[in-house]
Amino acid sequence: MNRMIVRRIASNRRGLRVVGRKTFCNDAAAEQSSSQASNDKHDTENTVRQHDIAIVGGGMVGMALACSLASTPLTKHLTVAIIDSNPTLGKEECFKKDDPPDPRVSTVTPATISFFKDIGAWEYVQQHRHAYFDNMQVWDYTGLGYTRYNARDVDKEVLGCVVENKVLHRSLLSCIQDTDSQKTIYPSRLTSMNLAPSLSSMRVDCTSSGPSMSTSGGLAKLELADGNSLYAKLVVGADGSKSRVRELARFKTTGWKYSQNAIICTVEHQEDNYCAWQRFLPSGPIALLPIGDKFSNIVWTMNPKESLDRKSLSEDDFVNALNHALDSGYGPRPQSQSFGDGSIFSWLRANVTSSASECFEVPPKVVKLASERMVFPLSLMHANQYASRRVVLIGDAAHTVHPLAGQGVNLGFGDAAALSRTIAEGVKVGTDVGEVSLLKRYEADRKLANLTMMAILDGFQKAYSVDFGPLNVLRAAAFHGAQHISPLKKSIISFASGEHRLPLFS
When mean pLDDT is compared across 3-12, 83-92, 234-243, 288-297, the lowest value belongs to: 3-12
**Is the predicted pLDDT of residue 216 greater than 60, yes or no?**
no
* pLDDT tens-digit map of 94-132: 777 778 899 999 999 999 999 999 999 999 999 999 999
Least confident of 160-164, 214-218, 309-313, 411-415: 214-218
Instruction: Give the CA-trace dihedral at 337, 342, 344, 346, to 10 degrees.
Output: 90
Question: Helices 110-118 and 408-428, interaxial angle, to 10°?
Answer: 40
CA–CA gap between residue 454 and residue 448 (Å, rounded): 10
Average pLDDT for the chain: 84
403 pLDDT band, cuts 50/70/90, is: confident
Position 30 scores a pLDDT of 37
Position 27 confidence tier, pLDDT thresholds 50, 70, 90: very low
Q: Which residues contact 107 (CB under 8 A, 6 or more apart)?
A: 160, 161, 162, 276, 289, 406, 410
Q: Residue 28 is which amino acid?
A: A
Q: Show the CA angle centred on residue 344, arms to residues 342 and 345, nearest 5°.
A: 95
Task: Please report, as a single letter, which amino acid is at residue 248.
Answer: L
Average pLDDT over residues 59-80: 96
Distance CA(395)–CA(412), nearest Å, equals: 4
Residue 384 has a CB neighbour count (10 Å cut-off) of 9
- Residue 45: per-residue pLDDT: 47
What's the pLDDT tens digit per position in 156-201?
Answer: 999 999 999 999 999 999 999 888 878 899 999 999 999 876 554 4
Span 28-50, mean pLDDT?
47
* pLDDT at 208 (0 to 100): 59
- Most confident segment among 4-18, 156-170, 486-500: 156-170
Tens of pLDDT, residues 321-348: 999 999 988 999 998 765 544 444 554 5
The per-residue pLDDT for 23 is 34
- Per-residue model confidence (pLDDT) at position 446: 96
Residues 6 or more apart whose CB falls under 8 angstroms from that of 54 comprise 80, 81, 83, 220, 222, 230, 232, 234, 235, 236
Residue 350 binned pLDDT confidence (cut-offs 50, 70, 90): low
Tell me the C-alpha distance between 146 and 136, whole Å. Answer: 11
Q: Which distant-in-sequence residues (6+ apart) come within 8 Å of 446 by Cβ?
A: 386, 398, 414, 415, 418
DSSP characters over 333-377: PPPP----TTSTTGGG-TT--GGGGPPP-PPPPP-EE-S--EEEE
**Residue 415 pLDDT:** 97
Mean pLDDT value across residues 279-296: 94
pLDDT single digits (tens) 358-400: 899 999 999 999 999 999 999 999 999 999 999 999 999 999 9
Please report which confidence band the pLDDT of residue 31 belongs to, taking 50, 70 and 90 as the band edges. very low
Are 58 and 84 in contact by the 8 Å Cβ rule? The answer is yes
User: Looking at residue 306, what is its pLDDT?
Assistant: 96
Residue 504 has pLDDT above 60, yes or no: no
The answer on pLDDT for 24 being more than 60 is no
Q: What is the pLDDT of residues 236-266, one digit of tens each?
A: 999 999 999 999 999 999 999 999 999 999 9
Give tens-digit pLDDT for 428-465.
Answer: 999 999 999 999 999 999 999 999 988 888 887 777 77
R_g over Cα of the chain: 25
Using pLDDT thresholds of 50, 70 and 90, give the confidence band for residue 207. Answer: low
pTM attached to this predicted model: 0.86
